Structure 1
């Protein structure tokens, strides 16, 4: 496959993200954003289309046409600013919520972000499974919100139910082998099993260095490669792939399951779409991936899966994909399937 792709210089550069190797401009989090990219057709998976035309033949369990890699980044379990959240609830006229929020750390029933089991139940309703990526930070690190040891029972329920627990690397993990190793060890110690899946916090990523570090640290797949500031296909792919290191001239021993849709990209933080336009965007991307028999990775944070429009939107996505008879599952299961069923034939 690589040999055929290399013959098309434009697509090879898009696939390998060549423009990112020499990029000097980055955003505040050292990320390469979509607005700096020279490849503007973000909603068309041009590389996947080329590979399909040249022999790639994806297949999925029970002859399903496409797959959904369903994921959650667990950034916060507790409201980071409970007093502020309480005042916000008051401004919306929700007196009961305003009274409960300051005490959400001591009473889990009053904590809307302690909703991991509710997410499992919702996904089970649509015969879906997903991946939960947990931070394993220590007090004092940026964005520390919870001690992973305090979530041991929740991790056990997720894993024992057949869903996946993966690592959500901290701010510096994308650029530090030692940090990756330590956070992986910390999570595995609590989980009691090997962790193979990864996504970095804030989608911080450096091409190709982060892939090399993840491979060296023992991860089997990553699902960070997507833009924060725009949904779509960052390297023209809507299929899992093995990255290629242009500096070293070799394939990297890790699978990338590229991120396509993130909740915060669609709404307030970046694209600023209203619910109707966000739905049209998501539906277009889902239909496109179905057309190319691909895998669409969707990221919905647990603190977005609470009451209101965002939760309704998430269920609408589940309902739409289930109605299309997609294989809706975790990154771990997609990695295993692709490794055993697709790659040997490529």
Structure 2
């Protein structure tokens, strides 16, 4: 659990949005339904079909924590979706609906044999349809083989749209490519309207900004990509939650207090908090902590929604 705190030295003071706070003017941007701040919920979908090493790894973790039932489920997960905890889209949708939230699921479009290949997007037509018909978002998860290649990323995006039978406008950047302006142009030309990306704290004031912004470079013209800073909770946090010892009250509460401070900081300056929780981390303790975050946020006057809805709202008065 201590890995989480590495993200927030001095008990999250580093993540206090000092740059955003003085720029806050509540009269200049009203969130829908009079909400005071917003939380953007992101789930990148990297693993659906666990490999044999993953099956044994997760089985061992469950058994070690005394969860015999979940351990046996993992053993059968490669043979039946009924026992596969990574087919958890409906479960996450119902959980978020319980707290008045919606989110986005971002899928990779990889070819067999490529690094990270775990599923064929064409096999998930029913799942994608269900996500879309429930009002949740389906987006695109970046891959190294399509990075900086317009033709390749357009081809993969079109494949996802063909399976979804709808337009895809959101891109999750797992490679910190925001630092390369060339990628902004490619994403814009490919038809993406926004990207969620880790924002380099040195070059982009990443840990001091909790508002979307438009990617800008003085030498680039006509690039209209909205950036949702992904600089608060990421895969490392989810993994730490998944490894949490639920019998260690101090361990849990120290981590929870850090997360609460991040949420409270953003709330105080009416900002937007982007939370990225991979769907494969939303099992066991990871799901427990995620629900705790949703529950805490729901008690505040907060708008918990998807990247597309945040972007549409933001663009409505930043054109």
Whether contact under 8 Å (2:24, 2:270) holds in the other structure is no
Cα separation, 1, equivalents of 2:184 and 2:318: 19
Q: Deviations over 1:145-190 (max 9, x none)?
A: 1111111111111111111000001124343323321221111110
Cα separation, 2, equivalents of 1:204 and 1:338: 22
TM-score (norm 2): 0.84
Correspondence for 1:326 = 302
Q: Deviations over 1:265-291 (max 9, x none)?
A: 336579x99432332222112111111
Correspondence for 1:261 = 232
Q: Is 1:76 matched with 2:51?
A: no
Q: Deviations over 1:74-118 (max 9, x none)?
A: 111122322343344444444444444233122111111111100
For residue 294 of structure 1, report the CA deviation from its aligned partner: 1.1
Correspondence for 1:218 = 191
Q: Deviations over 1:242-280 (max 9, x none)?
A: 12114x06573111111133343336579x994323322
Q: Is 1:242 matched with 2:214?
A: yes
Correspondence for 1:114 = 87
Which secondary structure state, in structure 1, belongs to the residue aligned with residue 39 of structure 2? Answer: strand
Change (3 A) 1:97 1:49: closer
Change (3 A) 1:85 1:221: same
Whether contact under 8 Å (2:173, 2:198) holds in the other structure is no
Change (3 A) 1:237 1:172: farther
Cα separation, 2, equivalents of 1:319 and 1:96: 26
Correspondence for 1:301 = 278
2:103 to 110, 120, 130: 130
Which secondary structure state, in structure 2, belongs to the residue aligned with residue 72 of structure 1? Answer: strand
Whether contact under 8 Å (1:129, 1:328) holds in the other structure is yes
Change (3 A) 1:332 1:192: same
Whether contact under 8 Å (1:233, 1:260) holds in the other structure is no
Q: Deviations over 1:16-70 (max 9, x none)?
A: xxxxxxxxxxxxxxxxxx99xxxx97423233234337x9822101111101111
1:187 to 137, 154, 160: 160
Change (3 A) 1:50 1:172: farther
Whether contact under 8 Å (1:200, 1:224) holds in the other structure is yes
Q: Where do residues 81-96 of structure 1 align in structure 2 (5 Å cutoff)?
A: 81=53, 82-96=55-69
Q: Deviations over 1:176-231 (max 9, x none)?
A: 3233212211111100111000102355543323222211211001111346x9xx
Cα separation, 1, equivalents of 2:81 and 2:48: 10
Change (3 A) 1:182 1:41: farther
CA-atom RMSD, angstroms?
A: 2.9
For residue 136 of structure 1, report the CA deviation from its aligned partner: 1.0
Correspondence for 2:318 = 343
Cα separation, 2, equivalents of 1:133 and 1:155: 10
Cα separation, 2, equivalents of 1:150 and 1:158: 14
Correspondence for 1:51 = 23
For residue 318 of structure 1, report the CA deviation from its aligned partner: 0.5
Query: RCO higher in 1 or 2 (8 Å CA, sep ≥ 6)?
Result: 2
For residue 241 of structure 1, report the CA deviation from its aligned partner: 1.1
Whether contact under 8 Å (1:75, 1:134) holds in the other structure is yes
Whether contact under 8 Å (2:238, 2:281) holds in the other structure is no
Change (3 A) 1:238 1:145: same
Q: Is 1:283 matched with 2:260?
A: yes
Name the stretch that deviates more: 283-292 or 86-95: 86-95
Which secondary structure state, in structure 2, belongs to the residue aligned with residue 167 of structure 1? Answer: strand
Whether contact under 8 Å (2:177, 2:183) holds in the other structure is no
Cα separation, 1, equivalents of 2:92 and 2:143: 23
Whether contact under 8 Å (1:169, 1:183) holds in the other structure is no
Which secondary structure state, in structure 2, belongs to the residue aligned with residue 156 of structure 1? Answer: helix
Whether contact under 8 Å (1:245, 1:251) holds in the other structure is no
